[in-house]
Amino acid sequence: MYDFVWDFGDFFGEVNMVYNVHLLLHFWKIVSMLGPMWAYSAFCFELGNGRLVKLVNGTTGVATQIVNKYHMAAAAAELVGGGQYAVRDRAINFCNEVGRYK
């Protein structure tokens, strides 16, 4: 496996030498620890990655974008969820009504 990864750039071009090719070097350890790859799923990680991608617009300051949008969503949940700055039921009902007409 090491030889394949080492020569991959020569065979397929360095532009195709992506992170997944590097991961091939680690599969043996994962399989020895967790068993055959067909026996477990990575879909939970894919779901998380999909959620992160939705927090990003553009390619500049990706980590900052994710952190800012996460904190905004958490603050909004705090407001609606009844924390220290809880929104009154009347305001929530108003927002729900407005949302129906979109």
Residue scoring higher pLDDT (6 or 89):
6
Sign of dihedral through CA atoms 9, 15, 16, 22? positive
Output the pLDDT for position 41. Answer: 73
pLDDT in tens, 48-87: 888 888 889 988 999 999 999 988 888 777 766 665 556 6
Residue scoring higher pLDDT (46 or 68):
68
Task: Identify the H or E element spanning 83.
Answer: none
Residue in 2, 40, 37, 39 with CA at minimum distance from that of residue 21: 2
Q: Where are the domains of the chain?
A: 1-40, 42-102
Sign of dihedral through CA atoms 48, 24, 28, 38? positive
Strands (E), the chain: none
